[in-house]
């Protein structure tokens, strides 16, 4: 028996009947031979980790643009925190931890430079809009490996596409917004559990918030510290989901309400902060100017992806800009628009 088959048998033995089993995956976009050692979801996780898009996350903004401190979150550290929270929940519910991890690691691969301000301006400029969760799927399906894509399983692709919530429902009611697997739904809620907590931490470090600013009613329910709040939410998700026998991912009314209130508080005090909005305005100009330049000069895009030549110019431009890190976008902007000192000979 191959090791992969042994792992698949172990999944059947120890995981909940509600789990997504790797041996029962709906498959890949293109059929390919199975690995002798790793399950399908383990292979997906590894492909994501080894991708260029994953490596670029370390230089993409989470909330604070180009922070000089070493301890501010980036898109990569956010992704790792989401993965840790989601895996904890999946393990406690006896769901497929490998699938959960793969979705979590891939959920933000399509995010723009400069965080959500970069996404917002591309959404305004691109004719059919721009949404980072759709771009994340485009990255794994099409852009990675010079047009070959990563050829991930249906379950991972579905979880990546449906992870995003924005200011919408944390636990969606509409069927079309819900991942088909419980593992995908775990990543969706883990995303917000991660960011509302680490964004408080970063905002306090940046001087945007003080600990005493957080409403007392929220702290009473969720806890006073970073670790207490995460433990409260994770424990609540596990407990409430078990109560309904894993029919869906659930939270108690009290904790869910406090989580929504905390998210609303952060939007008002941190994400819409006047200083942050001023910096976002600068980043919007960078993205806007780059978009218009490359739309007029599509030959300047270093296009290794031959399949991309079939796309309309605006899509190729959006792909190029969305793949940039913050510092690369600034570097390209400076090369194109900032005068250079005259070198006297």
pLDDT digits 0-9 by tens, 216-268: 999 999 999 999 999 999 999 999 999 999 999 999 999 999 999 999 999 88
Classify residue 145: in a domain, yes or no.
yes
- Judge residue 175's burial from the number of C-beta atoms within 10 Å of its C-beta, 0-12 exposed, 13-18 middle, 19 or more buried: exposed
Count the neighbouring beta carbons within 10 Å of the beta carbon of residue 197.
21
SS3 category, 74 = strand
Is 342 within a domain? no
Its sign, for the CA torsion 164, 167, 173, 177, is negative
Q: What is the pLDDT of residues 67-91, one digit of tens each?
A: 566 778 899 999 999 999 999 999 9
| Parent domain of 310 | 3-8+35-330
Confidence at residue 8, expressed as pLDDT on a 0 to 100 scale = 97
Q: Is residue 20 part of a domain?
A: no
Distance (Å, rounded) from C-alpha 86 to C-alpha 239? 15
Residue pLDDT, tens place only, 10-69: 999 999 999 999 999 999 999 999 999 999 999 999 999 999 999 999 999 887 765 566
Cβ-proximal residues to 117 (8 Å cutoff; 6+ apart), any chain: 280, 283, 284, 287
For the chain, how many structural domains are there in total? 1
pTM exceeds 0.85: yes
Residue 18: inside a domain:
no
In a domain, 324, yes or no: yes
C-alpha Rg value of the chain to the nearest Å: 21
Return the higher-pLDDT residue of 273 and 298: 298
Task: Supply the CATH number for residue 309's domain.
Answer: 1.10.3210.10
Spatial separation of the C-alpha atoms in residues 22 and 40, rounded to whole Å: 6
The CA distances from residue 160 to 68, 74, 182, in Å, are 30, 19, 13
Q: Is residue 40 part of a domain?
A: yes
In this structure, is residue 13 part of a structural domain?
no
Domain assignment present for 54: yes
Q: Cα torsion for 226, 227, 232, 236, to the nearest 10°?
A: 110
Residue 153 pairs in a beta bridge with 28
């Amino acid at each position: 028996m191959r090791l992969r088959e042994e792992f698949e048998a172990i999944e059947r033995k120890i995981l909940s009947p509600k789990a997504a089993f790797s041996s029962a995956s709906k498959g890949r976009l293109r059929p390919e031979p199975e690995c002798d050692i790793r399950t399908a979801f383990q292979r997906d996780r590894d492909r994501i980790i080894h991708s260029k898009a994953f490596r670029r996350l370390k230089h993409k903004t989470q909330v604070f643009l180009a922070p000089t401190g070493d301890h501010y979150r980036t898109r990569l550290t956010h992704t790792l925190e989401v993965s840790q929270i989601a895996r904890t929940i999946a393990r406690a519910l006896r769901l497929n931890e490998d699938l959960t991890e793969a979705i979590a690691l891939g959920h933000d691969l399509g995010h723009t430079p400069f965080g959500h301000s970069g996404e917002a301006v591309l959404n305004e400029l691109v004719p059919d809009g721009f949404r980072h969760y759709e771009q994340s799927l485009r990255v794994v399906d099409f852009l990675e490996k010079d047009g070959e894509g990563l050829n991930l399983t249906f379950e991972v692709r579905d979880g990546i596409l449906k992870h995003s919530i924005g200011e919408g429902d944390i636990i969606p009611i509409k069927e079309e917004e819900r991942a088909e697997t419980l593992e995908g739904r775990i990543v969706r809620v883990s995303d917000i559990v991660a960011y509302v907590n680490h964004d408080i931490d970063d905002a306090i470090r940046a001087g945007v918030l003080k600990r005493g600013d957080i409403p007392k009613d929220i702290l009473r329910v969720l806890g006073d510290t970073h670790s207490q709040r995460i433990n409260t939410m994770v424990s609540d998700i596990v407990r409430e989901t078990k109560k309904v026998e894993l029919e869906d991912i659930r939270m108690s009314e009290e904790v869910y309400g406090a989580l929504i209130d905390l998210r609303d508080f952060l939007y008002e005090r941190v994400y819409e902060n006047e200083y942050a909005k001023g910096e976002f305005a600068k980043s919007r100009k960078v993205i806007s100017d780059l978009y218009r330049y490359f739309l007029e000069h599509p030959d300047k895009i270093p296009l290794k992806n031959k399949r991309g030549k079939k796309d309309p110019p605006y899509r190729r431009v959006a792909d190029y800009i969305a793949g940039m890190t913050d510092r690369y976008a600034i570097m390209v902007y400076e090369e194109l628009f900032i005068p250079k000192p005259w070198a006297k000979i």
